[in-house]
Amino acid sequence: MIVPIRTMPGERALAGGDFVLKQRLLPMGLAELAAPVTMGSNSFEAGTQFFKAKADGGAIYCRPYVPDRVLVGCLLDRDSDGDFDEWFDVVSQTKGLPSVAQKYTKKRKPVSEIAYRKVPVTSMIDEYFVAIERRNYFNIYSRESFMIVFGREGATERLTDPVSFKSDEMPKQLTILGAVFTAVAERDGKMVVTVQRDMPLQPFSVVKTTSYRFY
Confidence band of 143 (pLDDT split at 50, 70, 90): confident
Q: Rounded to whole angstroms, how far apart are CA atoms 165 and 168?
A: 9
**Same domain (yes/no): 144, 171:** yes
Residues 73/89, Cβ–Cβ less than 8 Å: yes
DSSP state of 34: S
In a domain, residue 1? The reply is no
Note the pLDDT of residue 47. Answer: 95
Instruction: Indicate if 56 and 94 belong to the same structural domain.
Output: yes
**Total Cβ atoms within 10 A of residue 159:** 12
Average pLDDT over residues 119-139: 89
Average pLDDT over residues 104-115: 84
Would residue 80 count as lying in a domain? yes
Question: At which of 122, 154, 186 does a domain end?
Answer: 122
Our count of domains for the chain comes to: 2
What's the rounded mean pLDDT across residues 83-99? 88
DSSP state of 54: -
Given a contact cutoff of 8 angstroms between Cβ atoms, the answer to whether 142 and 166 are in contact is: yes
The answer to whether position 44 is within a domain reads yes
Range of the domain at 142: 12-25+126-197
- What is the tens place of the pLDDT at every residue in 160-185? 788 999 989 999 999 999 999 999 99
